Amino acid sequence: MTNKIIAILVAIVIALSIVAYQLWRADEHRPVQAVVQEHNEPTEQVAVAEGPQEAKRAEQQEQPNDVVVDEDVSQDTIEVVEDDSKADAKLCQLIDEYDDWYPKGDSYESDKFMTEVKAWAFSRGYFETEYSQGSLGIKKRSDYDYYEIDDLEEMAKAGDSMANVRLAYRLYLKSDLESMERAQPYCDRAIADGYTAMVMCKSSYVTAQIHQEKHKDGDSDRTDPERLKALELEYSAWQHVSERLGDELGSKLAINMLPDLENEFDQETIEKTTQSLIENIEMQRQQLGINERQHPPIPKLLTYVLEKNGDPMNAFKACFEE
C-alpha cells in the first residue's frame, strides 16, 4: 500500500541512524537496541527501493523492479505526535496532484506516485534492506546480493559500479569499525557514481573517529585537540554534502548524528570545507571518466511526508475520507 511504503521509507532514517549510532558507541562495546519493533516473523523490512534482477557492468544504468512490502509492518515505527485523524490541507493538495489513486485493501494506491518513489530511491542508492537476526542487511533482490563480499570487491576493482555500491552498502551495514574502514574507498566511488546514500557512510566513519579521539584508551585527557577539531569540521562539512548533491533524505540523516560538538565553526569555514569535499568528488569523477548522474526529483509528496511527525497512514486516509 502506498502509505505503508511511505512509512517504510521513513523507517530508513531510523535504520541508517542506528548503524551510525552503533559506530559512535563501538568502543564501549554496548549493543544498540533497534527502534524498529520486531514481530514473530524472522524478517522485518525497514526500507524500500529495489535493485536490478540481473548483473550489469560498468556504467550501465539499472532499473528498479516492483517493491514487495510485508503487510504487517508496524505503525509503531513512526512516532505519533499529531492528531492525524484530521485532514492536512497541504498533504491533501499534494495527493491531488496524482489522478490515478484507487482503493486497495484498507489503503489507497497510485501507480504514478509509486513509480516516482522507486525511481528516485533506487537512483540515489537507497536499496531495500531488512532487519533480521539482530542486524541490518540488503534484501536479496539482485544477483549481486548473492555474491560473497570478497567477490564483490574483485568486481568493484574491475570497474563494476553496481558491485561497488552493493559492496559499500553491505560493509557499512555491518556497523563495526573494521568493516567501515574497509568500506571507505568503495563509498567514495559510490558517491562519485551518484549513489548519494553513501554520504552516510562517510559521515558515520568520521563520527566513529571523533568518538575514538575523545576516548583514547578510555582516557579523555589524551585527546589531541587539533585532530578532534579537524574531525569535527569534516563531520560538519559532510552534513552539507548531501544537500549540495540534491539528496534531501540524505541531508536529514546527517543532522544531529552527534549529540554535540566541542568546537564551533563559522559558516564560511564549514562551506569552504564542504566545497573541498565536493571538489574531491568531482575530481574522482573526472579521473574515472564518470558522467554526473541525472537523478529524478524526489516527489514533493514524499518530501512532505518525510518531514511530517505524525502517522502517514492515518494522514493519508483523512484526505480520502473527507
The Cα 214–Cα 225 span in angstroms is: 9
DSSP-derived 3-state class of residue 129: strand
Rounded (10°) angle between helices 177-192 and 149-157: 30
Please tell me the predicted confidence (pLDDT) of residue 63: 44
Average confidence score pLDDT of the chain: 74
Q: What is the DSSP letter of 296?
A: P
Residues 265-307: pLDDT tens digits?
999 999 999 999 999 999 999 999 998 888 898 899 888 887 7
When pLDDT is cut at 50, 70 and 90, the band that residue 155 belongs to is very high
Query: In terms of DSSP bridges, do strands 129-132 and 107-109 run parallel, antiparallel, or are they unpaired?
Result: unpaired
Note the pLDDT tens digit of each residue in 187-211: 999 999 999 999 989 998 998 899 8
Which CA distances in Å does 230 have to 98, 183, 261?
Answer: 47, 21, 12
285 three-state secondary structure: helix
Number of domains observed in the structure of the chain: 1
pLDDT level of residue 14 (50, 70, 90 thresholds): very low
Identify the domain containing residue 293 by its residue range. Answer: 2-320
Alpha-carbon distance of 272 to 274, in angstroms, equals 5
Q: H/E element holding 131?
A: strand 129-132
Task: Please report the pLDDT score of residue 33 as a whole number.
Answer: 36
